[in-house]
Structure 1
């Protein structure tokens, strides 16, 4: 399977937790220059508005890099005005601003030659019982994405779900609820970004959710990383959940996936560009493992074998 690799530009800049900073800040131009030096890089995922500017002031920098754009990532969480929510903020004016972010990002994506934006509504949800009106939140979310979906038909909107963070509970925490939301809105151009790490912390099986979204006609985008299912650590793919990652790649082949794959991988150890280069190598090697085992052999094991026989055969292929 030929994977089209895209780098989330944020992974090539400052990375910090509550206690330490692990990577140095870099300007957009510096991150783009660095991305062009990483082998197997086919595209990038810039953030609106932080990378591109509120009116697209920095779009020309991305164009000048020569890198394709897989999608424009819309950030509706970090600015102070979104403290109480973005699309579900009780203030109608803030909700209008958040919806306009989607529309402007769609325009910029088209200008950059991309046909998709992706958005993760991390600040939309709740922390406590009785804190929000669930019916109003859902209605406001539907209104925002209905308006944005109707804005232009040539740019898709892909929703990246997550169980928690920034809120203790996020309004779109799972694949099933996100697909239900897309069906409620009803727009064909509204779909799902599955982040493998987000699926893991939600207790999901990534391959199963990929199949579900594909069968619904709403699998638009895939992010790869890994974690221990306890928190979204954005680790190297397959570094913890090896078999689940390999299974996801197997089903991507089964489904004939030919879309973009982006990598939300941050490192506290070593250089960030080295981590991304290693990520690309890992994914390529995982693809070769599937070749070594053979698609037909995996299908036969899945259909006819017991789990013991299956894993014995799979591990034998790795020796």
Structure 2
């Protein structure tokens, strides 16, 4: 399995939570240089509007880096205007603005050769009972997604679901809801970004989530990272859930996945560039572990073997 590794260059920028700043702000020029120097990196994921306010500058930096653009990540959560939601904002003018931003991101993505927009609507949700009108919110989300994605059929729009953060409840919290939304909208270019960490905090099995999305023809893009299932910590894949990472790669390969794997890994302590370097090393090592385990044997375990025997086989493979 040959992986296509993409660096989310926004993660090389400032990183802070509500208590502490962990990483300082870094200009796009420097972040692109850093991404280009990461061994094994094939592409970058750029953020609109933060990285693409000057598209000619961004294009020049991408060309100089020698990397492809895997996707444009639409940020509709940070700006003050999205405080009450983006695609589900009660103000129709704000909803129209969110759709316009999505359409602009689609145009930029086509211009940069990615033809992929990934969007995580983190401000579309609620925090309290009786805070929002669920009927309206669902209808507004479907209408907005249709209005945005129908802008052009040559660019895929990939919804990145998440159970919580920034809202305590988000309108697209899991794989099932997201696939249902895509089905209701009914456009072929609307699909799913399967963020492995988001699947974990939704208490999903990431491999099953990927299988569902693939079966629906909606598997568009993948983010890899890890966490403890309690919060989206965005740590190096395999640091906690080793077998879930191996299993997800096994199913991606079985399904013939040829798309990007983008790495959503934040670094509180240490060098973010080294964290991405280590992430790519880990992902390549996980593929090597699949080779050691034998895909045929793994399929045999799935089909015929007792679970305890399967677990013993996996553990023995690590230590032999």
Q: Contact 1:207–1:248 at 8 Å: present in 2 too? A: yes
- Distance, in Å, in 2 between the alignment partners of 1:96 and 1:64 is 35
1:170 alignment partner in structure 2: 170
1:112 alignment partner in structure 2: 112
- Distance, in Å, in 2 between the alignment partners of 1:286 and 1:65 is 27
1:243 alignment partner in structure 2: 243
Q: How big is the shift at 1:56?
A: 6.6
Paired residues, number: 319
- Distance, in Å, in 2 between the alignment partners of 1:149 and 1:119 is 11
Q: How big is the shift at 1:63?
A: 3.4
- Distance, in Å, in 2 between the alignment partners of 1:168 and 1:180 is 21
- Distance, in Å, in 2 between the alignment partners of 1:248 and 1:255 is 11
Q: How big is the shift at 1:49?
A: 0.3
- Distance, in Å, in 2 between the alignment partners of 1:135 and 1:279 is 41
- Distance, in Å, in 1 between the alignment partners of 2:151 and 2:81 is 24
1:197 alignment partner in structure 2: 197
Q: How big is the shift at 1:58?
A: 3.5
Q: How big is the shift at 1:26?
A: 0.4
- Distance, in Å, in 2 between the alignment partners of 1:212 and 1:281 is 28
Q: Contact 1:159–1:192 at 8 Å: present in 2 too? A: yes
Q: How big is the shift at 1:227?
A: 0.4
2:212 alignment partner in structure 1: 212
C-alpha deviations, 1:218-253, integer Å up to 9, x for none? Answer: 000010000001100001001001111111011111
- Distance, in Å, in 1 between the alignment partners of 2:63 and 2:76 is 24
Mind listing any 5+ residue stretches in structure 2 that lack a counterpart? Answer: none
- Distance, in Å, in 2 between the alignment partners of 1:56 and 1:161 is 31
1:74 alignment partner in structure 2: 74
Pair 1:98–1:56, CA change in 2 (3 A):
farther
Q: How big is the shift at 1:176?
A: 0.1
Matches within 5 A, 1:5-16: 5-16=5-16
Matches within 5 A, 1:154-169: 154-169=154-169
Q: How big is the shift at 1:57?
A: 6.0
C-alpha deviations, 1:231-290, integer Å up to 9, x for none? Answer: 000010010011111110111111111000000001112100000000000000010010
Q: Contact 1:88–1:137 at 8 Å: present in 2 too? A: yes
Q: CA RMSD in A?
A: 1.1
Q: How big is the shift at 1:115?
A: 1.4
Mind listing any 5+ residue stretches in structure 1 that lack a counterpart? Answer: none
2:23 alignment partner in structure 1: 23
Q: How big is the shift at 1:38?
A: 0.4
**Stretches (4+) displaced over 4 A:** 54-57
- Distance, in Å, in 2 between the alignment partners of 1:77 and 1:48 is 11
Q: How big is the shift at 1:66?
A: 2.3
C-alpha deviations, 1:59-104, integer Å up to 9, x for none? Answer: 4333332210010000001100110000111111111110011100
SS at structure 1 position matched to 2:214: helix
1:232 alignment partner in structure 2: 232
Give the TM-score, by structure 2 length: 0.97
Q: How big is the shift at 1:55?
A: 6.7
Does structure 1 residue 306 correspond to structure 2 residue 312?
A: no
- Distance, in Å, in 1 between the alignment partners of 2:20 and 2:103 is 36
C-alpha deviations, 1:122-158, integer Å up to 9, x for none? Answer: 0001111111111111111111111112110100000
